[in-house]
Amino acid sequence: MTPTSPSTHWTLAARAAKMNPSVIREILKVTERPGIISFAGGLPSGKTFPVAEFAAACTKVLHDDPTGALQYAASEGYAPLRAMVAQHLSQQAAAAGQVWHVDPAQVLITTGSQQGLDLVAKVLIDAGSKVLVESPTYLGAVMAFMPMEPEVLSVASDSEGIDIADLRSKGRDARFLYVLPNFQNPTGRTMSEAGRCALSAAAAELGLPLIEDNPYGDLWFDEAPAASLTARNPDGGIYLGSFSKVLAPGLRMGFLVAPKAMYPKLLQAKQAADLHSPGFNQRLIYEVMQGGFLDRHVPTIRALYKTQRDAMLLALQHHFPEAQTQPDQSLTWNTPAGGMFLWARLPAGMNAVDLLPHAVDKGVAFVPGAPFYADHADTRSMRLSFVTPSVEEIQRGVAALAAAIREHRP
Amino acid sequence: MTPTSPSTHWTLAARAAKMNPSVIREILKVTERPGIISFAGGLPSGKTFPVAEFAAACTKVLHDDPTGALQYAASEGYAPLRAMVAQHLSQQAAAAGQVWHVDPAQVLITTGSQQGLDLVAKVLIDAGSKVLVESPTYLGAVMAFMPMEPEVLSVASDSEGIDIADLRSKGRDARFLYVLPNFQNPTGRTMSEAGRCALSAAAAELGLPLIEDNPYGDLWFDEAPAASLTARNPDGGIYLGSFSKVLAPGLRMGFLVAPKAMYPKLLQAKQAADLHSPGFNQRLIYEVMQGGFLDRHVPTIRALYKTQRDAMLLALQHHFPEAQTQPDQSLTWNTPAGGMFLWARLPAGMNAVDLLPHAVDKGVAFVPGAPFYADHADTRSMRLSFVTPSVEEIQRGVAALAAAIREHRP
Tens of pLDDT, residues A218-228: 999 999 999 99
CA-nearest of B337, B184, B249 to B48 is B249
Q: Cα–Cα distance between B390 and B373 in angstroms, integer?
A: 29
Given a cut of 80, whether residue A28 has pLDDT beyond it is no
Q: Do B62 and A46 touch (CB under 8 A)?
A: no
Confidence of residue B17 (pLDDT cuts 50, 70, 90): confident
Confidence of residue A6 (pLDDT cuts 50, 70, 90): low
Q: Do A207 and B8 touch (CB under 8 A)?
A: yes
Q: Cα–Cα distance between A157 and A166 in angstroms, integer?
A: 9
Determine whether domain B51-293 maps to CATH 3.40.640.10.
yes
Residues B140-171 pLDDT 10s:
999 999 999 999 999 999 999 999 999 999 99
Residues 6+ apart with CB under 8 A from A396: A37, A363, A364
Q: Which of residues 213-242 of A touch B (CB under 8 A)?
A: 233, 235-237
**Which of B47, B48, B239, B252 to probe by mutation at the A interface, max A CB count within 10 Å?**
B252
CA dist A270 to A76, B137, B251, B255, Å?
8, 20, 16, 18
Count, in order, helices (H) and strands (E) of chain B: 15, 13
- Average pLDDT of the segment spanning B15-32: 74
CA-nearest of A15, A207, A203, A201 to A125 is A15
Q: Cα–Cα distance between A298 and A53 in angstroms, integer?
A: 14
Shortest distance between the Cα of A317 and any Cα of chain B, in A, equals 31
Is residue B128 exposed (0-12), middle (13-18) or buried (19+ Cβ within 10 Å)? Answer: exposed
Q: Cα–Cα distance between B353 and B30 in angstroms, integer?
A: 12
Average pLDDT score over chain A: 95
CA-nearest of B19, B138, B27 to A271 is B19
Residues A115-144 pLDDT 10s:
999 999 999 999 999 999 999 999 999 999
Residues A235-293 pLDDT 10s:
999 999 999 999 999 999 999 999 999 999 999 999 999 999 999 999 999 999 999 99
Is the previous residue joined to B389 through a cis bond, with omega within 30 degrees of 0?
no
Confidence of residue A20 (pLDDT cuts 50, 70, 90): confident
Given a cut of 50, whether residue B245 has pLDDT beyond it is yes
B65 near B97, Cβ under 8 Å?
no
Q: Which of residues 134-173 of A touch B (CB under 8 A)?
A: 140, 143-144, 146-148, 168
Given a cut of 50, whether residue A5 has pLDDT beyond it is no
Q: Which residue of B has its CA nearest to A66?
A: B51
CA dist A307 to A297, A340, A391, A394, Å?
16, 12, 8, 11
Q: Cα–Cα distance between A294 and B402 in angstroms, integer?
A: 55
Q: Do A146 and B69 touch (CB under 8 A)?
A: no
- Average pLDDT of the segment spanning B250-276: 97
pLDDT at position B6 is 55
pLDDT at position A347 is 97
- Average pLDDT of the segment spanning A340-359: 96
Beta bridge partners of A240: A213, A256
CA-nearest of A118, A135, A131 to A186 is A135
pLDDT cut 90: percent of chain B above it: 92
Q: Do A71 and B248 touch (CB under 8 A)?
A: yes
Give the up-direction half-sphere exposure of residue B221: CA atoms within 13 A in the CB hemisphere: 19
Residue type, B165: A
Question: What class does CATH assign to A14-49+298-408?
Answer: alpha beta
| The two domains A14-49+298-408 and A64-294 share their CATH topology (first three levels equal) | no
Q: Which chain B residues are closer than 8 Å to A10 by Cβ?
A: 124, 209, 259, 261-262
| pTM of the predicted structure, to 2 decimals | 0.96
- Assigned CATH topology for domain A64-294: Aspartate Aminotransferase; domain 2 (3.40.640)
B214 near B241, Cβ under 8 Å?
yes
**Which of A7, A8, A54, A78 to probe by mutation at the B interface, max B CB count within 10 Å?**
A8
- Average pLDDT of the segment spanning B269-281: 97
**Which of B4, B81, B111, B282 to probe by mutation at the A interface, max A CB count within 10 Å?**
B111
| CATH of the domain spanning B14-48+296-408, picked from 3.90.1150.10, 3.40.50.720, 3.40.50.300, 3.40.50.620 | 3.90.1150.10
Confidence of residue B7 (pLDDT cuts 50, 70, 90): confident
| CB-closest option in A144, A264, A278 to B252 | A278
B187 near B343, Cβ under 8 Å?
yes
Average pLDDT score over chain B: 95
Q: Do B49 and A43 touch (CB under 8 A)?
A: no
Given a cut of 70, whether residue B31 has pLDDT beyond it is no
Q: Which of residues 27-66 of B touch A (CB under 8 A)?
A: 42-44, 46, 49, 51, 54-55, 58-59, 62, 66
What residue spans define the domains of chain B? 14-48+296-408, 51-293
- Average pLDDT of the segment spanning B230-245: 97
Q: Which DSSP state fits A228? A: P
